[in-house]
With several copies, the nearest count.
Chain A
């Protein structure tokens, strides 16, 4: 059975061109970039080229890119690095209640060390109000961290506006752009961004490599101490092949981003419309327009997410849910709850995220399959009363 992969927001396959670009760096050109001799020089040159590709993707200078072991590490480095480099006075951090766990976990860690963190609320679309950001700033505020687009519901935040507020207040501004880099245009200067996290595996690069953009002049401590790699900002032998792959992926993304967003946006809208038409008592989660071109997130009342996923998987369709049952914890998505969804609707959420290889047929297949699955699950749901029957 042909699998239909609709979880590009979780991870993307590594693009064949990216794999090709990486291969020589496992074999012939395997050098340690810190070495003086030929192999080392080849490695350094390759890393430099990748660095400038990643820099170009977000409008940064080459020197402002620090390669990391992924998006999570980049988020950790941004927040902890700024915190550890700060004067004692600056002990206040502003973030939102819908950030990725990498940001929330770092904030919690810093709270345990005595930092104060303000978690801003969002509206029902998952939007942060720039005015809330402004009001939260105090004399002690060190950094504001607001994600560019949310990984679950796809809502894109007014980053440039928040960047202006941060700049006016003289506060560092970090944004987690793991879901947007390579998908939505980013210009760190125009947007007033001081720190920005990226992850290669969300843009058809390899897993286990990411980058933190650190604006020149930003005072930041390393998260990982040791050798002088990455200009003393991130120690450890460079993930040479991974970095080369990231560079190639960034280069590809820069070329295809605009067109891809148009194509995916159309498929996304067909999928949303189809779902809402075919499945009664379903609702779209996230913002209707300020939204990632590849993100569909719906809540389907009376049914639970994991059982939808299992049925979809049996039909070869890969998706994701905000239900507690797949989270390892017993709580459903903090993002959906922050947006005001009931627990029941949060447990019934389904994320379908599209990508480079998604086709119109995939969309059709999901629509048909899901409709059947929902009927089947609703038939066995004690919460669901079929239309026409009186409520309990």
Chain B
């Protein structure tokens, strides 16, 4: 135990209490799966993509308060963004949107960014752009 217990912002706690977009998605266009039980955080992120735009995002997360809040926030932030815009969404942006995260919890925002990237990669693999390259 430590005297540097995370002190969560109001916003983090609000998203933890009422996480947005929780649950699986029927036949998603992309699935991201990151983390493992060793580190204690596992995120699954599902996206629906219509005309290159992320129209819906959902998640399931095993993890601490910050993991759940960043999952919730990233699904909110990503909705309405094009694939390119979504790829630019950084972990910092997620943390900032939550009013900041305690230093020892920043890795959760990294995980959320990675979950999103992983879902987009999955989408791009399953839906290769015919006209690109």
Contacts and interface: CB of A to CB of B under 8 A. Distances in A.
Direct contact of A and B (CB under 8 A): yes
Interface string A214-241: 0000000000000111110000001000
A228 B2 contact: yes
A379 B43 CA distance: 13
A46 to B, nearest CB: 12
A40 to B, nearest CB: 6
A34 B5 CA distance: 6
B3 A47 contact: yes
Given A44-B3, A229-B2, A231-B4, A307 B65 contact: yes
Contact of A343 (B16, B40, B64, B68): B40
Given A307-B16, A327-B1, A328-B1, A44 B37 contact: no
B37 A344 contact: yes
A229 B2 CA distance: 5
Interface in B4-37: 4-7, 13, 16-17, 19, 22-23, 33, 37
Contacts of B19: 380
B104 interface: yes
A332 B64 contact: no
Contacts of B1: 10, 32, 34-35, 227-229, 326-328
A325 B3 CA distance: 13
B133 interface: no
Interface residues of A, number: 41
Interface string A369-392: 000000000011111000000000
Interface stretch (B55-63, B78-86, B90-98, B124-132): B55-63
A382 B44 contact: yes
Interface string A311-349: 000100000000111111010100000000011100100
B107 to A, nearest CB: 8
Contact of B64 (A40, A238, A307, A328): A307
Contact of B40 (A36, A323, A380, A382): A323
A35 B2 contact: no
Residue among B19, B62, B66 with most chain A CB within 10 A = B62
Residue among B3, B17, B38, B107 with most chain A CB within 10 A = B3
A64 interface: no
A302 interface: yes
A325 B7 contact: no
A383 B42 contact: yes
Contacts of A342: 37
A324 B40 contact: yes
Given A379-B23, A382-B33, A325 B61 contact: no
Contacts of B59: 380
Contact of A35 (B5, B61, B67): B5
Interface in A2-42: 10, 32-36, 40-41
Contact of A34 (B3, B22, B40, B44): B3
A-B pairs with lowest CB-CB distance, top 3: A328-B2, A34-B1, A228-B2
Interface of A: 10, 32-36, 40-41, 44, 47, 227-231, 238, 302-307, 310, 314, 323-328, 330, 332, 342-344, 347, 379-383
Interface of B: 1-7, 13, 16-17, 19, 22-23, 33, 37-44, 59-68, 104, 107
Given A343-B38, A381-B62, A382-B44, 14 more contacts: A32-B1, A36-B6, A41-B7, A306-B65, A307-B64, A310-B65, A326-B64, A328-B1, A342-B37, A379-B23, A380-B23, A382-B42, A382-B43, A383-B37
27 contacts: A10-B1, A34-B1, A34-B3, A34-B5, A36-B6, A227-B1, A227-B2, A229-B1, A231-B4, A304-B40, A304-B41, A304-B62, A304-B63, A307-B63, A307-B64, A307-B65, A324-B40, A325-B63, A326-B5, A327-B2, A328-B1, A330-B39, A379-B23, A380-B61, A382-B42, A382-B61, A383-B37
